[in-house]
Amino acid sequence: MKELAPGDASLIEEFTNAIRRSSGLDMPVDNPNLLEGLEMGFKMLPLLGLFRKYTKTSVHDFAGGFSDPFLREAFVGSFGLPRLLPKTLPGLADFHMIGQWTTVGAGLPPAAKDGRDVVKAICRRDRKRFVTFTP
Ligand SMILES: Cc1cc2nc3c(=O)[nH]c(=O)nc-3n(C[C@H](O)[C@H](O)[C@H](O)COP(=O)(O)OP(=O)(O)OC[C@H]3O[C@@H](n4cnc5c(N)ncnc54)[C@H](O)[C@@H]3O)c2cc1C
């Protein structure tokens, strides 16, 4: 990966180190009993910071940190997730699609920002001033 995208070496190392650290954890598949649960809790203690960080980050968000476009797409695809949809359709002028499938991140704020970014790009293309108002 680092040979393909040397500019993303530090993020690649961070991710592969996280996998290395957590891959030795033997998690019970069935419901553990109290003793097994406690044992598991102790084993997980050193990894709590790691888990907290990665459970707050979506795959698309993490992939968005890569500067290499191929790596961004391949990373998302490696989790079996769909890549981001394009915002335009070839042959359909002035069509713009925005929302959670066309931008990195999930929820209403990224979808709204996606719309804002498209309007900004249209303004730039039409040489119009882009002005926003905060309610
Ligand atoms: C139960 C629930 C709770 C959530 N709570 C939060 C929250 O608290 N905060 C937060 O940030 N996010 C929340 N989300 C996520 C958030 O709702 C979505 O990320 C957001 O709505 C995505 O916006 P969107 O415009 O991409 O898609 P949508 O809001 O799904 O809009 C797509 C629209 O396209 C329409 N459509 C689909 N197909 C066609 C078609 N063929 N022709 C015409 N129209 C079509 C649909 O009817 C829909 O109105 C929640 C989601 C769910 C399901």
Residue 58 counted as domain residue: yes
| Most confident range, picked from 23-27, 53-57, 128-132 | 128-132
Confidence of residue 27 (pLDDT cuts 50, 70, 90): confident
- The answer on 94 and 74 residing in a single domain is no
**Percent of the chain beyond pLDDT 90?**
30
Which residues are registered as beta bridge partners of 89? Answer: 92
Distance 110 CA to ligand 1 centre (A): 12
Position 11 pLDDT exceeds 80: yes
Query: How many degrees, rounded to 5, is the angle at CA 26 between CA 20 and CA 29?
Result: 130
Predicted local distance difference test score (pLDDT) of residue 30: 77
Residue numbers of the domain that contains 98: 84-135
Domain end, chosen from 62, 78, 94, is at 78
Q: Is 58 in the pocket of ligand 1 (CB under 6 A)?
A: no
Pocket test for ligand 1, best of 108, 116, 117 (most atoms within 8 A of CB): 108
Phi then psi dihedrals of residue 89, to 5 deg: -120, 130
* Mean predicted lDDT score pLDDT of the chain: 86
Nearest to 18 by CA among 66, 42, 53: 53
